[in-house]
Structure 1
Amino acid sequence: MFQAVLDAYGLNAENFKIEPFGSGLINHTWKVSNEKVAYILQEVNTEVFRQPQNIAQNIETIKKYLYQTAPKYLFVAPITAANGDDFSVIDDHFYRIFPFVENSCSIDFVHQPEQAYHAAKQFGKFTRMLCAFNVQKLKPTIEDFHNLPLRVEQFKKALEQASDERIGAAKFAIEEIIRHYDIEEQYVHMVDSGALNLRVIHHDTKISNVLLQAETGVGLCVIDLDTVMPGYFISDVGDMMRTYLSEANEEEKDFNKIAIREDVFAAIHKGYMEEMDQVLSFTEKQFFIYSGKFMIYMQAVRFIADFLNGDIYYKTNYPEHNLVRGLNQIDLLNKYIAKQPEFEETIKKINENRAGNPKPILN
């Protein structure tokens, strides 16, 4: 397989060391390297991304725009294959090769607020640089990816069809999801009222999707652009809240370890708004804190719906895995909501400081 793929790029597999790379759960990724050069080879998971050509087209369209408007920005685009495409198809498998960015690194968990700051700044910068781009040129790569009303509707259908045993096991989780229906209601109101502007959004802002300078930890750029498509800023900010604020991730069974780090929240706000303060509307800024509720709640809904459906979507390692994941996210949600007064005070202080020390935004 490797030789056939590398042949499409004029490379000989015998001249390279090929080894698994990264911690991604969707696509298969390898580092292809020798003493002179290194690449990242990736096979796109077409069970998740059913129209991978849309990914390639989106990235190519954004690349051309950024090369014209922000030529100094580090945009890690796929290398062109011998046939002129940015991908190759071998035995119905979809592959692409990226240049390996030297002196860069990525991390899997936020250990310090500075890491959250640099990541948030890079995701904000990416959307800011594309604020004048015609978002309608992009195609959805996963339909209804962050469609909260759809996820709630799927939960309701799962609840109607679930076994009594699963409903009993998930009783508390079900009650909590129903108790927080107002989160979905607010989302519908925001969209229907036009409070949110459609923008170029990454949609998968986990910390590992930012390249950092290996020595300094300063952000370089965002990577893994498969989910870049039209969306709302609350998706990117909300996903950072969901995955950065607590040291315990969604797999943690001991909910006592789930804790909101207020300094990390401050770092997310500071980094993102340094780039997006002049881009977001006044109304959008009022939903910055809501974004965390939006994404955490949606993930809880998805886990519990899958548990009620008999674990047909997410891979599980033990019988109540999705239930535990859902309860984990519900606990995170409730702790997040409890911190809202502190979040509001944090934003107030950051804004006051920014007003007194304005900084120019540069590409």
Structure 2
Amino acid sequence: MEINLDPEVLKAYGYTKENIKINQIGTGLINRTYLLSPLSEDKKYILQNINTSVFKNPQAIANNLKAIADYIASTYPDYLFIKPVSTVDGDELAYVNNEYWRMLPFVANTTSLDVLDNEKQAYEAAKQFGKLSRLLNKFDASKLEPSIPGFHNLALRFEQFTLALSTAPKELKGLSKPQIDDALERKYILDFFKSYSHRVDFPDRVMHHDTKISNVLLDNETFEGVCVIDLDTIMPGKFISDLGDMMRTYLCAFSENETDLDKVKIRLSFFEATVKGYLSEMKSILTETEKELVLFSGKYMIYMQALRFLTDFLNGNIYYPINYQTQNLDRAKNQFKLLSELSANEKELQDIIEENLV
């Protein structure tokens, strides 16, 4: 299949269609991604078009990555941080015909997964996300600009939900009444977070904010973690963003698109592997307050995602792509079930956490 890529994009990095092979790759829904294979080099590169509908300030992303890359290079030079390749003019991004592009080095002999198959993969992924945060423990997170303001702000997401609820048609509110009731009853999760949010030992850290399994590279043969990728959302946040998102996406064998809610269960062995991997890197720097909130991180992120799906359904499905009209409602049901499962297994899950905090 012929790929229609603007030659000026390639020119920005010193290439032409004649001296490079181009393949479109990736399963991501946000940025278009290509694999570039220069005919005269052994190296390969990843070329991405940045979706400015989602990331409205691409330069902020570029500035964030440069600041972190410079810090990592000076303090942990052996750590593999995927820094963008500069254009021929020395810029962090290429701006061509009103579109932003960036090039990244391709990491050979690695793989990224769309689905977790075993506990080792969960452990290795969690360990890699924890390692990046640990290495950036002394980096001043306030130097970073949010690439998506309010991304993991539960107060904002609840406010958006209540606004959608006040304007939604009666038909949609009727279809989703049990989930609306669930969302309102579980507001205690937001209130609980607020009671902790101003503690001095609950700091903002450098967080990835999108810790799904596909954002970690694993060694092709050993499946050990190599590095973290897809760093667009790296910005200041609470540790619960990363660990909570891992709990949301690693613990159930089925995604939020599963409509058979009997299948939505917590895999205890995957919970243990995730917590063990993350805390193997992070427990030495977590504060006492953060240690108290390890399990809560899962509740926070699952509740927030349930709210976001429900809000989108009430708004008429304007954000998340859907295959049928009630899909976002089904996704919300899925997430509320996962949240219930987390609460139902709370004692056993907390015991696992305590064992790994020792």
From 60, 72, 76, the equivalent of 1:70 is: 76
Q: Give the aligned partner of residue 139 of structure 1.
A: 145
SS state of the match for residue 221, structure 1? strand
- How far apart, in 2, do the equivalents of 1:256 and 1:46 lie? 38
Does the residue aligned with 1:94 lie in a helix, a strand or coil? strand
Q: Quick check: 1:16 aligned with 2:24?
A: no
8 Å contact from structure 2 (residues 183, 307) kept in 1: yes
2:125 paired with 1:119: yes
* 1:234 pairs with 2:243: no
Q: 2:327 aligns with which of 301, 321, 332?
A: 321
Deviations 1:226-280 (A, max 9, x none): 0000000000000000000011001111112211111111111111111111111
Cα drift, residue 195 of structure 1: 4.7
Partner of 1:81: 87
Name 2:136's counterpart in structure 1. 130
Please report how far the alpha carbon of residue 159 of structure 1 lies from its aligned counterpart in structure 2 after TM superposition: 0.9
- Distance in 2, matches of 1:229 and 1:265, equals 25
Shift of 1:53: 0.1
AA in 2 matched with 1:28:
R
Superposed CA deviations along residues 45-73 of structure 1, whole A, max 9, x for unmatched, are 00000000000000000000000000000
In the other structure, the counterpart of 2:36 is 32
Residue 107 of structure 2: which of 83, 101, 116 is its match? 101
Pairing partner for 2:185 from 172, 179, 182: 179
Q: Match for 2:133: what amino acid?
A: T
Question: 1:59: which partner in 2?
Answer: 65
**Please, what is the CA RMSD of the aligned residues?**
1.1
Superposed counterparts of 1:222-261, under 5 Å: 222-261=228-267
Whole-angstrom distance in 2 between the partners of 1:257 and 1:71:
44
Secondary structure of 1:192's counterpart equals: coil
1:277 is aligned with what amino acid?
K
The farther-off stretch of 186-195 and 116-125 is 186-195
Q: Note if contact 1:2-1:13 (Cα within 8 Å) is conserved in structure 2.
A: no
The aligned counterpart of 1:269 is: 275
* Structure 1 residue 16 displacement after superposition: 2.4
Distance 2:38 2:221 in 1: 22
Structure 1: distance between partners of 2:330 and 2:193: 26
Q: Percent identity?
A: 47
Partner of 1:340: 346
Residue segments in structure 1 that go unaligned for 5+ positions in a row: 356-363
- Say if 1:166 and 1:308, in contact at 8 Å, map to a contact too: yes
Counterparts of 1:75 and 1:195 in 2: how far apart (Å)? 28
Tell me how far 1:15 sits from its aligned partner: 2.4
Report the counterpart of residue 358 of structure 1 in structure 2: none
CA distance in 2, matches of 1:174, 1:76: 42
8 Å contact from structure 2 (residues 47, 104) kept in 1: yes
Query: Which residue identity is paired with 2:51?
Result: N
Counterpart Cα distance in 2 of 1:78 and 1:2: 20
Secondary structure of the residue that 1:14 maps to in structure 2?
A: coil
Q: Specify the code of the residue in structure 2 equivalent to 1:196.
A: F
Residue by residue, what CA displacement relative to the aligned partner does 1:282-324 show, whole Å, maximum 9, x if unpaired?
Answer: 1111100000000000000011011111112212211111111
Map of 1:360 onto structure 2: none
Alpha-carbon offset, residue 95 of structure 1: 0.2
Are the counterparts in 1 of residues 22 and 34 from structure 2 also a CA contact under 8 Å?
Answer: yes
User: In the alignment, which residue of structure 2 is the partner of 1:349?
Assistant: 355
Measured after TM superposition, the shift of residue 37 of structure 1 is 2.7
Residue 167 of structure 1, aligned match among 166, 173, 176:
173
User: In structure 2, what residue type is equivalent to 1:124?
Assistant: G
SS class of match (1:12): coil
Amino acid at match of 2:34: W
Q: Which amino acid aligns with 1:27?
A: N
How far apart in 2 are the matches of 1:57 and 1:225? 12
After superposing on structure 2, the runs of 4+ consecutive aligned residues of structure 1 that deviate more than 3 Å are: none
Aligned partner of residue 85 in structure 1, secondary structure: coil
Aligned pairs for 1:142-221 within 5 A: 142-221=148-227
- CA offsets 1:187-234 (integer angstroms, 9 cap, x no match): 111113345211000000001101111110000111111000000000
SS in 1 for 2:134: helix
TM-score (norm 2): 0.96
Give the C-alpha shift of residue 2 in structure 1: 3.8
Gaps of 5+ in 2: none
Judge which range, 249-258 or 238-247, deviates more.
Answer: 249-258
Q: What is the SS of the residue equivalent to 2:255? A: coil
Q: Secondary structure at the match of 2:104?
A: strand
Name the SS of the counterpart of 2:102 in structure 1.
strand
Is the CA contact (8 Å cut-off) linking 2:279 and 2:356 kept in structure 1? no
**Aligned-partner SS, 2:34:** strand
Q: Do the aligned partners of 1:39 and 1:100 also contact (CA within 8 Å) in 2?
A: yes
